[in-house]
Amino acid sequence: MKNIFKIFLSGLLVFSFNSCEDSNTVVDQVVADTKAGAVLRTIEVLSNTLNNNIPSTYFSVEVEEQDDEGGALLASVDIYVAIRDLTPDNGTTVAEALVKTIPASAFTAGPVGLPRAVLTATFGEAEAAMGLNASQHSAGDLFVFELRLNLTDGRTYGAKDASGIITGGYWSSPYLYNTLILCSPKPGDYSIRMIDNYGDGWQGSNVTVTMDGVDTVLAIGSYWDADPGTRGSVGDTQWSDITETLTIPAGTIEATWEFTGGSYPSEVEFEIFAPDGTSFGYFGPTPSPGLLPITLCL
């Protein structure tokens, strides 16, 4: 029995080694026949709003180029732009346009030795590239910027080449960036009516208004964070339905409204009014997080 076992074991080892050799040969062949690509990893989006009253406002993103040769294949990056017209009265459709080309010489070595650069395109440059004028876009529309990576061997990578594993997570390489068109806001007293339909406050949800870089946070305070001796009952007005006024001063260049969801966004509702009392719309319950379409231009 021992001899039979030894013969069986020896045969198994020979089969295993041969199988490994065959497997390695296949893997080596696949690797040898595969040409690695390249990506532009998003480090930080520095600016993703434009102001149609100010041509010098800009889209800006810091990127890191990674390729099979540690950045040596980088030739240039093209910045393209297209408009996504969300204003029914405009109906603008134009072909995407090249805004500019950034050469490899504009990149410098980043923290891990790979090429990094801040890529920028102004509102004026993007508008001119597409041949648009002020009547063909409005606040609330989007300029969509696409980065296309050109390599020294003639290959180009852009949004159409990016799969899910590339666009998210560590790589964060979408190649496409939506940039909202804003305007200089009309000054005056804006109001926001805030409702919590459970009656215990927003618990982390808020509307943040950013005026020329300064934030004002609007929210119904949390019932559970208040002093138990003075907070009253769940459902009292101060926890369920309040209205606040926000003044946008004359001379304000830019104002954005953004909703952030807290612990129970399904309980959150609000309505925002212009200085003349016109409603910008009712949001919620469960408002979508992100920038709100609040535009009232000068």
More confident residue, 264 or 161: 264
**What was the pLDDT predicted at 140?**
83
pLDDT band at 7 (very low <50, low <70, confident <90, very high): very low
My answer on whether 256 and 144 are in the same domain is no
Phi, psi angle pair for 33, to nearest 5°:
-90, 0
pTM over 0.85: no
Number of domains in the chain: 2
The CATH number of whichever domain residue 122 belongs to comes to 2.60.40.1940
My answer on whether 245 and 230 are in the same domain is yes
Task: Give yes or no for residue 22 having a pLDDT over 80.
Answer: no
Which residue segment(s) compose the domain that 104 sits in? 38-182
**Are residues 207 and 259 in contact, defined by beta-carbon separation less than 8 angstroms?**
yes
**Are residues 164 and 99 in contact, defined by beta-carbon separation less than 8 angstroms?**
no
Among residues 129, 161, 182, the one where a domain terminates is: 182
More confident residue, 73 or 89: 73
Helices assigned H by DSSP within the chain: 2-33, 123-130, 164-167, 237-240
My answer on whether 84 and 147 are in the same domain is yes
Average pLDDT over the chain reads 85
My answer on whether 64 and 170 are in the same domain is yes
Among residues 127, 157, 182, the one where a domain terminates is: 182
pLDDT band at 298 (very low <50, low <70, confident <90, very high): confident
**Are residues 184 and 212 in contact, defined by beta-carbon separation less than 8 angstroms?**
no
Q: 20, exposed or middle or buried, with CB in 10 Å at 0-12, 13-18, 19+?
A: exposed
Domain annotation covers residue 83: yes
Task: Give yes or no for residue 12 having a pLDDT over 80.
Answer: no
Q: One-letter amino acid identity for 192?
A: I
My answer on whether 177 and 192 are in the same domain is no
**What was the pLDDT predicted at 36?**
55
Distances in Å between the Cα of 243 and the Cα atoms of 65, 194, 234 are: 48, 6, 18
**What was the pLDDT predicted at 105?**
98
**What was the pLDDT predicted at 267?**
97
**What was the pLDDT predicted at 255?**
92
Domain annotation covers residue 123: yes
pLDDT band at 170 (very low <50, low <70, confident <90, very high): very low
Domain annotation covers residue 28: no
Give dist(CA 248, CA 167) in Å, integer.
37
pLDDT one-digit tens code per residue, 196-237: 999 999 999 999 999 999 999 999 999 999 999 999 999 999
My answer on whether 226 and 247 are in the same domain is yes
185 torsion bin: left (phi>0), alpha (psi -120 to 50), beta (else): beta
My answer on whether 241 and 157 are in the same domain is no
**What was the pLDDT predicted at 172?**
57
N-term to C-term CA, the chain: 96
More confident residue, 86 or 110: 110
Task: Give yes or no for residue 194 having a pLDDT over 50.
Answer: yes
My answer on whether 148 and 101 are in the same domain is yes
Domain annotation covers residue 239: yes
Average pLDDT over every residue of 246-266: 95
Average pLDDT over every residue of 131-148: 91
My answer on whether 249 and 155 are in the same domain is no
**What was the pLDDT predicted at 173?**
59
Distances in Å between the Cα of 207 and the Cα atoms of 124, 176, 204 are: 30, 27, 10
Domain annotation covers residue 19: no
pLDDT band at 135 (very low <50, low <70, confident <90, very high): confident
Average pLDDT over every residue of 238-256: 95
Among residues 182, 216, 241, the one where a domain terminates is: 182
Highest mean pLDDT among 22-26, 37-41, 246-250: 246-250
